[in-house]
Structure 1
Amino acid sequence: MATLSMSNKKLFTADYEIHASIKMLYPYIQTASGLSEWFADDVTINNEDKSFTFFWDNEAHKAKLAAFRTNHFARFEFLPENKDDEKDPSYFELRLEFNDLTQSVYIKIFDYSDFDDQKELNDLWHGLVETLRKTVGG
């Protein structure tokens, strides 16, 4: 009898207002050099397969840019580390939105992973976005 493995992954979402233009912010969410300034210790691109490698605490995590729309969003899917990941990959998406009513720019975070401490994840993203704000002056 086959057993089905259920994913323990959860989707975390958050919105943060940033005082900067979307055109200025976009390179920070889609390019290796931009992401390495606030999101990871370092980010590199393999030119052959176009995969991104994110470095945190000397650990490498490979991802591919799964989808993007210039000046709107970038979605990175982590490459599978096991069978469950192949069927249900972890990803994060960074989306830039403009609110016409308030004339404000927001970065919307989608983080789909098996990270189970939602408060810690919220604190992590809050800290990352604060670093982004300082980097862009917004």
Structure 2
Amino acid sequence: MSKKVLYELEFPVRCSPGILYEFLSTPAGLQEWFADKVDFRDNVFSFSWNGTTEEAEVMEQEEDEFIRLHWTHAPKDEFFEFRIQISEVTNETILVVKDFAEKKEVKDQSQLWEYQVKDLFHRIGS
């Protein structure tokens, strides 16, 4: 089994960090764009798609800045993260997505994130 690699994607977004953070860190916000159904209990999100449920534990978070999650079935050193940055040059809000994938699957996984984030931006009107 080959080791997964960390990759990072950046998406400029026309939205305040506070509003964006709500869509990245709450069950109601995540259910708008990330999964069909989202529940949160005891620091663990349950994401459901087409009857399949996956759980992710919140590893770390800072309001309006980032949330890092760990799929409970994945190796301990793997995570996915949503980070909100402000460009010093343009003062634009940037969503940074970090995730792990097999090296040969990074392109496909990146396209999946791009599709998901496009749906997020549609929901927030960006």
Same fold (TM over 0.5): yes
Pick from 81, 103, 124: which aligns with 2:112? 124
Say if 2:14 is the partner of 1:19. yes
Supply the distance in 1 between the matched residues of 2:43 and 2:91 (Cα, whole angstroms): 35
- The structure having more radius of gyration, on CA atoms, is 1
Unaligned runs of 5+ in 1: 1-5
- For structure 2, list consecutive stretches of 5 or more residues without a partner in the other structure: none
75, 100, 106: which one aligns with 2:94: 106
TM-score (norm 2): 0.90
Aligned to 1:135: 123
CA-atom RMSD in angstroms: 1.8
Deviation by residue 1:43-100 (Cα, 9 ceiling, x = unmatched): 1112xx331111123211111111000000000111136xxx2xx3432100000112
Aligned pair in 2 of structure 1 residues 7, 14: CA closer, same or farther (>3 Å)?
Answer: same
Partner of 1:40: 35
**1:43-58 correspondence runs (5 A):** 43-46=38-41, 49-58=42-51
How high is the sequence identity, in percent, across the aligned residues? 27
CA deviations over 1:105-125 (Å, ceiling 9, x no partner):
100000124584122111101
Write out the 4+ residue segments of structure 1 that deviate beyond 3 Å after TM superposition: 113-116
The two structures have a TM-score, normalised by structure 1, of 0.83
Match of 1:93 in 2: 81
Number of matched residues? 126
